[in-house]
Structure 1
Amino acid sequence: MIKSLSVENFIIVENLNLEFENGLQVLTGETGAGKSIIVGAINIILGSDIHPGMLLDDSSPAKLEAVFDIDNENKKLTKLFNNYDIDISEGEAFFAKEIATNLRSKSFINGRRVSKDIIKEFRALLIDFHSQRDQQKLFDTDFQLEVLDIYGKLTNIREQFTSKYKETESKIKKLKKLQNTESELAEKIKLYQYQIDEIKKIDPAIGEDSKLQVELNLLTNAEDILNIATRLEQEIYEKENSVYDAISSYISQLAKFKNDNKNIDEAVNFLQDASANLDNSINSIREVQNIIEVDSSRLEYIQSRLTLLNNLSVKYKQNIEGILEYRNSIQQQIDSYSSGKEEISDLNDEIVVDLEYINKLSEELSAKRKKAAANFEKEIIINIKKLAIPDAEIEFKISDIKNSIGASERLSALNETGKDAVDIFFSANKGVKLQPFRIAASGGELSRFLLAIKKILSDRLDRRTIIFDEIDSGIGGKTSELLAEFIHDIGKYHQVLCISHLPQIASYSDRHFSIEKISGSKSSEVKVKILDGNERKVEIARMLSGSDTELALQHAAELINKK
């Protein structure tokens, strides 16, 4: 509820501070006294548009602030504060608006600047303005369904349904995406599997082609290498006066003198090393000879293998390392395809179970709505007849939705509120056919109908401040007293701010504010006073007859006492 309101330099208000309480707060005063300025200030604080003429003094900014008492039981409201990390541990929230001289404005919550959109989110949960625009909501079939669910205390089951519906809808979207991916992959999988089998059959290894090329070069020159090896061995070992024999002879001859001279000693050692190196050279050449002579078919194999590897590289336009990477990549896609098919199957099974559940829940919700609608109709008729529509008839027509826009085919008979479409049919006169509310109801009937709904639902709604701005327009006589009772009954559950010209409504107030405009030679000033006791009686007498005559005061006292 609103605990206090402060207004500075706004329209004709220089400085104003008000404190409010629970229950019905009535604001009265002569026409043009400034009553609507108070409601206007609250509207501006909570996001309404700024217009020229809102500054009393164009050279100074306007400052508006409303302090709200926050009900921790209102889960939606506390969640919204938490979402924006706004501290309400003290149980209060300060909403402020500053309007600069250029009419640009800033909004604040607890001193922190916030956007207009955020302010409007809070507005919907803090304040209920009963206005012409508010009445238009009655034409909205979604709103009609919402009030029916609130009346039937079906909010929990509806939220349960909505949550499961959205979860199922999300699963269906995921399933479609998986199926599309699976369909696209299915066309490629056969090719991928063929390619993997082809690569697997050849089974290339990284670096294999380089090694084979080296071996191929060796085997291609085998005849020349064998001839060289034969001649080399002959020259070193076999022919008369061979290299080996000559070195051995010189080693023996010089060995006699190696102790006589250091250089001779070194020469002998070098010759011995040369002899050993000749042995090693011949051994290495013999190894090559063995390779060439043992596997005469090796050349054919290597040539064939290199042809396979080369053809594979040409086909895939990559070297062996790239081909193996490509193979791993398409193998992953094949594995993904297989696991995707399993996921599709599992997800489809889940959706079947979910659909069975939400269809059952929608039937349960629909049955409860129809039962609640019958009782709601009776209560609305009883209450609206008290508001001078004696022949009113009403019917909640509940039908299956035709098709939920944007939902999948598997959810086409549902939307996130269930299976029901609701349309209120209304007639204000005997013998007149019931028609949709948007066709049949006048502005005055809309206002009274909405008031009746608010009264009926007042104990079922989250606590908030309800503002009635001259709801009593065009109402008089016995209806005035019944209207006052209605508003007072709503005030038992919610804080109500009501601007009124009706003494009957004023007599039911829990707190009565008198608004007076005092005109000076250069400017006007708005004064607000809380009325108690005799002052209140005098104001109600003025509202009754325009003066505080003894008869008017007596009548005022009777109205106050009747409450």
Structure 2
Amino acid sequence: MFSGATGVGKSLVIGALNFILGGRATSDIVQSGKDEATVIAKFHAKDESILKQIKRVSGNNTIEEELLIQRSIDTSGRSRCRLNGIPLTVSMLKEIGEILVSIHGQHEHETLLHGINQLYILDDLGGISSLREDFSEVHQQVIEKTKMRDVLRNNQQERRQRMDLYAFQIEEIDKAQLREGEIEELEKEKNILNNAEKIYTTITSCYLHLYESPDAVVSRLKSVVKELQSIAKLDETLLKIFDVCNQLLYQTEDAAFSLGKFRDSFNYDPQRLEYIEERLNTIRKLKMKYGNTIEEILSYHDEIQVKLKQLSEEKTTAEQVDEELKVLSDFLRQKGCELTRKRVATANKLAPLIDKELHELGMPHGKFLVQITSPFLPDGGNSQASNAHSYGFDQIEFLISPNPGGDLKPLRKIASGGEISRVMLALKHQLAKVDKTSVLVFDEIDANIGGRMGEVIGEKLSSIAKSHQVICITHLPQIACYADEQWKVNKFVKDNKTYSVIENLSSDARLEEIADMIRGSEKTDITRKQAQEMLRDAKKKIKSKNVMKNNLTTSEHE
């Protein structure tokens, strides 16, 4: 519990909490002449589910129960955040802060005012959070299946076009009946055919010179051989020359015979040349499409043949996924209907409990209602899976009517800060057992209420503090006397600089502070006795409630 005169800096406590929990901050909070402002906070997160959430957000699975959070901001406005020495982003720190602490104040947008948080509270109270998580899993499957179906629908035409293209390309390459080394063979034959006339004329001329003309080389060589034969035996050298000429005659005759044979068999076919030109042109076109060589074209052919087979064997179609999606959507609606039914039952139980709390908190005519908008209720609308959220089909709104004759209105639209604070307190008192937020902060919960109601609020805060860490800023002694510990905020000036300090009050100092809160600086012995009596009565009531609670627990076990 924090107390102190107006203006001493109690709001700094809330400001520091907001800062360490990832709230928006500017460099204005850095003290003049300093490089940065730093806030350090230590939390003990004993609840395993809270630890699990913090591990998920931070990405650190080594986190233990004790959490040391540090945040600094320098004069340039740059923030640095750490959790147990490990850096965090501001957004991560904000998410962790929302898990650990809930701040309720006149000018704060409390988490309880948001519909989604109201829905989570209702589910926690009804013990149906696990059902909501099951729904969320199915909902995620529906989203994924819907995306798959849409992708398949968009890709089916593209898939068919690709299959048609691959089939055409395979047919085109197959039709060409390519052979490795074929281009070289065709180019060689083409070169011969392009020079056919020259080849034929040259061969004929050479053949005539060697064999058929009157002075043919063969005839003249025969004469030479015949003449040398008559004298070859006379000298060994002449014999050798004869042998050479005789051999030359045989070779020339053989060459002439080969030329004649080649000439007789040589056949120039213009159609063959045309075929070769067309064949090479076909191969050139295939090379432009599928590869630089016949080897590359054939390799591409084998590759697309495999792809065509894979596409042909794909059995998952948009229609098949649609069938699966229909089954999932039906299951989702079934889960959603079950969630709605259990939420309505929980809401019906919660309303009278909150009504009772409001009456005790000075709103004797206050009425509370949980409004559930669902397609599974009369006139609820469409229950298609596309209208679902991860938490179900339902929209939750807490409604309140603080005054007699007033209409029930959304809690978030209530203008009075004091009324909001009391409704928050009523809800927190009822939901303390299921709300897993470790720390609850109530900023000036005593706004617009008197001392009599302050005592009721003090009792309820004390009850909540049995299961939560409660931090409260108050001006009412009736509330302060129910605190387990009381801290006083003081302000002083030193060297022309203003400082705010927080003092943990001993029992005597606390008595003086309660007396100050009753009458101010003009307190008397009578005021001190009043303060002492208030502290004693608060202690008795707390003790009495604890005894009653223990007896009730014992009887329940029996």
In the superposition, the TM-score normalised over structure 2's length comes to 0.76
Matched residues, number: 523
Deviation of the 1:556 alpha carbon: 3.2
Q: Is the 8 A contact 1:27 1:514 kept in 2?
A: yes
Is it true that 1:91 corresponds to 2:66 in the alignment?
Answer: yes
Q: Is the 8 A contact 1:212 1:302 kept in 2?
A: no
Q: Aligned equivalents of 2:255 and 2:485: distance in 1?
A: 119
Is it true that 1:32 corresponds to 2:11 in the alignment?
Answer: no
Which of 323, 326, 332 does residue 352 from structure 1 map onto? 326
Is it true that 1:388 corresponds to 2:388 in the alignment?
Answer: no
- 1:162-561 matches, within 5 Å, as 162-186=136-160, 190=164, 193-194=167-168, 196-205=170-179, 208-218=182-192, 243=218, 246=221, 249=225, 300=271, 303-304=274-275, 306-307=277-278, 310=281, 321=292, 324=297, 334-335=308-309, 337-339=311-313, 342-400=316-374, 411-439=385-413, 442-518=416-492, 522-546=496-520, 547=523, 549-550=525-526, 551-552=529-530, 553-561=532-540
Superimposed CA distance per residue, residues 190-248 of structure 1 (whole angstroms, 9 cap, x where no aligned partner): 56645543443343446535533433454576687567667767776789986499499
Which amino acid letter does the alignment assign opposite residue 561 of structure 1? K
Which of 51, 57, 67 does residue 80 from structure 1 map onto? 57
Superimposed CA distance per residue, residues 449-507 of structure 1 (whole angstroms, 9 cap, x where no aligned partner): 22222222222233422221211112224422221122222222221111112223222
Q: CA 1:310–1:526 in 2, change beyond 3 Å: closer, same or farther?
A: closer
Which amino acid letter does the alignment assign opposite residue 310 of structure 1? N
Q: Is the 8 A contact 1:506 1:540 kept in 2?
A: yes
State the match for 1:122 in structure 2.
96
Q: Aligned equivalents of 2:56 and 2:190: distance in 1?
A: 78
Q: CA 1:104–1:66 in 2, change beyond 3 Å: closer, same or farther?
A: same
Q: Aligned equivalents of 1:270 and 1:343: distance in 2?
A: 88
State the match for 1:67 in structure 2.
42
Is it true that 1:562 corresponds to 2:544 in the alignment?
Answer: no
- 1:122-141 matches, within 5 Å, as 122-132=96-106, 134-135=108-109, 137=111, 140-141=114-115
**Structure 1 residue matching 2:475: 3-state secondary structure:** coil
In the superposition, the TM-score normalised over structure 1's length comes to 0.75
Q: Is the 8 A contact 1:401 1:421 kept in 2?
A: no
Q: CA 1:468–1:170 in 2, change beyond 3 Å: closer, same or farther?
A: same
Q: Is the 8 A contact 2:102 2:110 kept in 1?
A: no
State the match for 1:154 in structure 2.
128
Q: Is the 8 A contact 1:544 1:556 kept in 2?
A: no
Q: Is the 8 A contact 2:444 2:472 kept in 1?
A: yes
Q: CA 1:45–1:142 in 2, change beyond 3 Å: closer, same or farther?
A: closer
Q: CA 1:517–1:433 in 2, change beyond 3 Å: closer, same or farther?
A: closer
Q: Aligned equivalents of 2:372 and 2:219: distance in 1?
A: 117
Q: Is the 8 A contact 2:336 2:393 kept in 1?
A: yes
Q: Is the 8 A contact 1:313 1:319 kept in 2?
A: no
Deviation of the 1:371 alpha carbon: 1.9
Task: Please give the root-mean-square deviation of Cα atoms over the aligned residues, in Å.
Answer: 4.6
Q: CA 1:357–1:205 in 2, change beyond 3 Å: closer, same or farther?
A: farther
Q: CA 1:386–1:197 in 2, change beyond 3 Å: closer, same or farther?
A: same
**Structure 2 residue matching 1:342: 3-state secondary structure:** coil
Q: CA 1:215–1:397 in 2, change beyond 3 Å: closer, same or farther?
A: same
Deviation of the 1:77 alpha carbon: 0.9
**Structure 2 residue matching 1:541: 3-state secondary structure:** helix
**Structure 1 residue matching 2:387: 3-state secondary structure:** coil
Percent same amino acid at aligned positions?
Answer: 27
Q: Aligned equivalents of 1:244 and 1:410: distance in 2?
A: 109
Superimposed CA distance per residue, residues 132-179 of structure 1 (whole angstroms, 9 cap, x where no aligned partner): 454465554333323222322332222232233223213322321232
Say which is worse superposed, 204-213 or 549-558, in terms of deviation.
204-213
Structure 2 alignment gaps of length 5 or more: 377-382, 543-558
Q: CA 1:103–1:242 in 2, change beyond 3 Å: closer, same or farther?
A: closer
Q: Aligned equivalents of 2:393 and 2:524: distance in 1?
A: 60
Say which is worse superposed, 348-357 or 46-55, in terms of deviation.
46-55
Which amino acid letter does the alignment assign opposite residue 11 of structure 2? S
Higher relative contact order (CA closer than 8 Å, sequence separation 6+): 1
Deviation of the 1:50 alpha carbon: 4.4
State the match for 1:22 in structure 2.
none
Q: Is the 8 A contact 2:225 2:242 kept in 1?
A: no
Which of 43, 46, 59 does residue 18 from structure 2 map onto? 43
Structure 1 alignment gaps of length 5 or more: 1-25, 403-408
Which amino acid letter does the alignment assign opposite residue 562 of structure 1? K
Deviation of the 1:414 alpha carbon: 1.6
Q: Aligned equivalents of 1:322 and 1:88: distance in 2?
A: 62
Q: Is the 8 A contact 1:463 1:493 kept in 2?
A: no
